[in-house]
Amino acid sequence: MEIGLSALVRDRTMSPEIAATLAAAAEERRSFLVFAIPRLAGKSTVVQAMLAHVPSGTPVRTVTGEPGEISRLASAGGSGYLVIPEISQAPVPGYIWGPPVRRVFAVLARGYTLAAALHAPSVEEAFAIVCGGNGVPDEDASRIDLAVYIRSIGEWQAPSRRVVEAVHEIHGVSHGKPRTRALHLWDEGADRFATVNEPKIVLTDRWARLARDFGKAAAALS
């Protein structure tokens, strides 16, 4: 059973405001990266929870980046989300690295939107992997709009808690380095989520309404 954003708010993985930003990103068909360092940190859970908010009828395709697949996508008109389960060299089905990653990023110019996960400890390291490790050009990497970092607390095999520690908007990439704007941060000492900037991907009134709705939905699940 997939876990939704409301349940993640209830579990204190994120705040209602973070959930509102993530839902709005999917509703507005924005490309995003979700990353963490340890395994089992909840990257796939957050990706799927976000994709549950894509507009009705939007195609969502898991991609391999193989040349034939990219050719078909390029001729199909560019509609919907392309999903990379993980950008990784690990020999796991669905994980891709190098040329396949570059091909997927390149086809975004046709109008597709990307949802991808990877292992990284920060937004800067995430783009170092995308651009440096996989050779994705700045122009293609600049199509990413949102970067979500998850922190796993406790033993990685059985974490006591998972927390969305940082959410950044991306406003371009130069020489493999993203220009970022922090939206949400988790204060570990106070165990408090702070919104340091409101997102630009959604109107303020709508974002505030979404946050209220997620707060109420999370309370109803408790």
User: Is 46 a domain residue?
Assistant: yes
User: Residue 38 maps to which CATH number?
Assistant: 3.40.50.300
In the prediction, which pLDDT does 41 show?
63
Whole-number Cα distances in Å, 159 to 9, 47, 148: 17, 19, 19
Write out the residue range of the structural domain in which residue 79 sits.
30-202
User: Is 47 a domain residue?
Assistant: yes
In the prediction, which pLDDT does 68 show?
97
- The answer to whether 220 and 11 are in contact (CB under 8 A) is no
Number of domains in the chain: 1
Tell me the per-residue pLDDT of 157-181, one tens digit each, with 9 for 90 and over: 677 789 999 999 999 999 999 999 9
In the prediction, which pLDDT does 159 show?
72
User: Is 156 a domain residue?
Assistant: yes
d(CA 201, CA 76): 26
User: Is 24 a domain residue?
Assistant: no
In the prediction, which pLDDT does 157 show?
65
- How many Å separate Cα 21 from the centre of its chain? 11
User: Is 210 a domain residue?
Assistant: no
Radius of gyration of the chain (CA): 17
Q: Which of 86, 74, 7, 1 is closest to 40 using CA atoms?
A: 86
User: Is 61 a domain residue?
Assistant: yes
Determine how many CB atoms are found less than 10 A away from the CB of residue 118.
23
In the prediction, which pLDDT does 145 show?
98
Q: Categorize the per-residue pLDDT at 37 as very low, low, confident or very high, splitting at 50, 70 and 90.
A: confident
In the prediction, which pLDDT does 8 show?
97
End-to-end CA distance of the chain: 18
Alpha-carbon torsion angle 115, 40, 149, 31, nearest 10: 0
Rounded to two decimals, the pTM is 0.95
pLDDT surpasses 60 at 1: no
d(CA 36, CA 148): 9
Q: Look up residue 109 and give its DSSP letter.
A: G
Tell me the per-residue pLDDT of 75-127, one tens digit each, with 9 for 90 and over: 987 889 999 999 999 999 999 999 999 999 999 999 999 999 999 999 999 99
Q: Mean pLDDT throughout 50-74?
A: 96
Q: Which two tokens stand for residue 119?
A: 């292992």
d(CA 49, CA 66): 26
User: Is 221 a domain residue?
Assistant: no
Tell me the per-residue pLDDT of 184-218, one tens digit each, with 9 for 90 and over: 999 999 999 999 999 998 999 999 999 999 999 99
**Residue found by looking up tokens 């894509």 in the block:** 54
DSSP letter string over 128-195? Answer: IIIIIIT---HHHHTTEEEEEEEEEES-TTS-SEEEEEEEEEEEEEETTEEEEEEEEEEETTTTEEEE
Alpha-carbon torsion angle 135, 137, 143, 145, nearest 10: 60
User: Is 76 a domain residue?
Assistant: yes
